[in-house]
Chains A and B, each alone.
Chain A
Amino acid sequence: MKFAFRTTYLAIIGTIVLFSPITAKAEANGFHKGASTFVMALANDVITNLTGNALTDLQRQEKLRGILKSYFDVNSIGKWVLGRHWRKASAAERSEYLGLFEDLIVNTYAIRFKSYANEKIKLTGTASRGQTAIVKSVIERGSQQPVRVDWRVTYPDGQYKIFDIVIEGVSMIQTQRSEFSSVIRRNGGRVSGLIATLKNRSRSGARN
């Protein structure tokens, strides 16, 4: 009995050891492929809907807001960027912050797509780290040096979402986090200080 149990046990372990790397790899490949397709879809959406001079600035901002909501895990990004300060923030502060964070991204980035015209994205490979797929690409800009861009893609709630964009080794969310944490620190460690700064920014952004 004991022997039989052990054999069965070993057989199960053996099977797991033998086959799990293969299944894991196959799953990873499927995940990578899906993530790559997802990044290309995002790039096409951006090129079709955000670039060029046909849009007014306000239209471009609203289009970007739509793209942000469908392709990015905005709330998780917002929480991660606030880091440990998220825990201290009240429920009201959290929801106000998330709204202002979205506005900040929309106001900051929308204008940039105006001047985009000859940019082409080329996927160069994939990798995984934990639950994150990394889709690597270069963006070619005519005669200028190409820019290396990594897309960190997660799969929360059964959908691909961008969690971070890394440009030439610089993580956008990491940079945003150090900026926000500095603003909070210089405002006596209070999230309300950051919220006030973001509100100011959002008002001056609306005026421009």
Chain B
Amino acid sequence: MVVISVFVLSNCASAPKGDPETLAEFQKLNDPIEPTNRAIFSLNQGIDKAIIKPITGFYRTITPAPAREAVHSFLENLRTPVILANDVLQGEIGRAGNTVIRFGVNSTWGILGFRDAASDLGFEHHTEDFGQTLAMWGIGEGPFLMLPVLGPSNPRDAVGKVVDYLIDPINWWATNTDSGVVSMTRTGITGIDTRDQLWDVLEDIDKNSLDPYASIRSLYRQRRMDDIRNGAEVDDPPAPTLGGDFELADPEGMDRAPTNK
């Protein structure tokens, strides 16, 4: 642990001096430990190439797309208690109702959740997690973090992940009944499903990005902002001549406060 923190500290990108624009960009990037994050990113790419991607690739060869979609729906249905708790913690009563109805419909008519029958009835899927709840409570994301294996995150979302794990009744049940295998199996399958869902995006980045780390950092932050806004459009989209001729770069669009619509 000490070794890790020394490593992290010694690799801190020092804030650039002098040029105010460069400094502003550094602050907007919100990635003060970029060198360390990039090192972890390389490690993750290695792990992905050696283990995660081959397993997921095998899963994709033996399982047709509709079956993978069914697995994904099943796993999402299992997440219902966590989504519901976060709907409620955010005061989103309408969305909480939607979550309850979806669970009822999908667990029965949707055959234990393998089919997302509720979407066909107009009860669309939405995601919530404790990271988003913290954001709605006004807690900032903190600096960008690349977590080993788990990938892009930040302190707020990392804490959120832990809380989501702790409030999940399926994990309580598994702990109380000594069914650690169930939790482990679920984690394993969820990991493969997540990698499967990201397959096309990651292939695309791998093939086309000039800087995969920067692309993934940007994608993660934009997706999280979108999740937090519940898909509402931003108030000030980029415009051709906004503010005259090319103001400071806002590489991540982070000037946009989340609004709850």
Q: Which residues of A contact B (CB under 8 A)?
A: 73, 76, 79-80, 82-87, 108, 127, 129-132, 134, 136, 143-145, 148, 150, 152, 154, 156, 163-164, 166, 168-171, 173-175, 177-183, 185-186, 189, 197-198, 201
Contacts and interface: CB of A to CB of B under 8 A. Distances in A.
B239 A181 contact: no
Contact of A179 (B65, B211, B229, B240): B211
Interface of B: 21-22, 25, 29, 65-66, 69, 208-211, 213-215, 217-219, 222-223, 225-227, 229, 231, 233-242, 245-253
A73 B237 contact: no
Nearest to A75: B240
9 contacts: A80-B238, A83-B249, A87-B246, A166-B233, A170-B222, A173-B238, A174-B253, A182-B251, A189-B22
B240 A174 contact: no
Nearest to B241: A76
B239 A84 contact: no
A11 B91 CA distance: 46
B249 A73 contact: no
Contact of B240 (A73, A185, A189, A198): A73
Contacts of B240: 73, 76, 79-80, 154, 156, 163
Nearest to A125: B233
Contacts of A170: 219, 222-223, 226
A47 B190 CA distance: 35
B233 A179 contact: no
B48 to A, nearest CB: 20
B214 A178 contact: yes
B237 A132 contact: yes
A125 B2 CA distance: 54
Question: 3 tightest CB-CB pairs across the interface, nearest first?
Answer: A169-B226, A182-B214, A83-B249
Contacts of B214: 178-179, 181-183
